Amino acid sequence: MSIAVYPGSFDPVTFGHLDVVERGAKVFDRVIVAVLQNRSKSPLFTIEERVALLKKTTFHLPNVEVDSFNGLLIDYMHSKNAKAIIKGLRAVSDFEYEMQMALINKNLDPSIETFFMMTNTQYSFLSSSIVKEIAKYGAPVGDLVPKVVEEALRLKFQQGE
Ligand code: PNS
C-alpha cells in the first residue's frame, strides 16, 4: 500500500491545499495530511483548530486522514511507514526552499521520495498568509477557502486576534 504524507502548517487550510490533497488522493492509496505543531512562527489557529478544519474539509475523501506531528518530518514518516512526501509548488519562488527541504530529507533518508505537484493555476497566488491578511481587514475570502474556514477566520478576528 502506498502511503503519502502531505506536511505543512495549514494555518489555515485553503482551496490551494485542498486541490493538492484531492489530486494526491487519486495517486496514493492513503494520504496523511500532517500538521506541524512546533513552528517557531506563532500560528493564528491552534493545532487543534487547524486539524479540525482539515478534518471537516477532507471528510469527503475516504483515503485521506489528518494528523499532527512534532519534530522532524522524516521521523514522522518512519512512524507511519510512509515512503512519499507530497508538496505543492505554486511558482518558481517556491522552488528553491522546497528543493532544499527535499534534499535535506533525502539526505536524512534516501528511501523516502518527495513528490511535487504543481498547484492549479487558479490558486497559484494563494497562501494562508494572504488569506489571513485579507480576512483580518474584513474583506471576503469565500473564493479562497471553504465556508467553515471563512467562518473560523471571521470568529478569530472578531475576538481581536
Ligand atoms: O506549510 P509550510 O509551513 O511550508 O510547511 C513546512 C513543513 C512543515 C513541511 C516543514 O517545515 C517541515 O517539514 N518541518 C518539520 C521539521 C523538519 O523535518 N525539518 C527538516 C527538513 S526541512
Model confidence pLDDT, tens digit, residues 1-47: 999 999 999 999 999 999 999 999 999 999 999 999 976 678 999 99
Q: List the chain domain ranges.
A: 3-124
Is 86's C-beta closer than 6 angstroms to any atom of ligand 1? no
User: What is the pLDDT averaged over residues 144-161?
Assistant: 91
Q: What is the dihedral of CA 141, 98, 90, 52, to 10 degrees?
A: -30
Task: Place domain 3-124 in its CATH homologous superfamily.
Answer: HUPs (3.40.50.620)
Residue of 26, 41, 93, 111 marked active site? 41
87 touches 100 (CB < 8 A): no
Residue of 50, 60, 79, 90 marked active site? 90
DSSP class of 12: T
Tell me if residue 128 is catalytic. yes
Tell me if residue 17 is catalytic. yes
> Residue 127 contacts by C-beta under 8 Å, 6 or more apart in sequence?
14, 16, 90
Q: Structure pTM? A: 0.96
Rg (C-alpha) for the chain, rounded Å, is: 15
Calculate how far, in angstroms, residue 141's C-alpha sits from the geometric centre of ligand 1.
Answer: 26
Cell 481581536 locates to 160
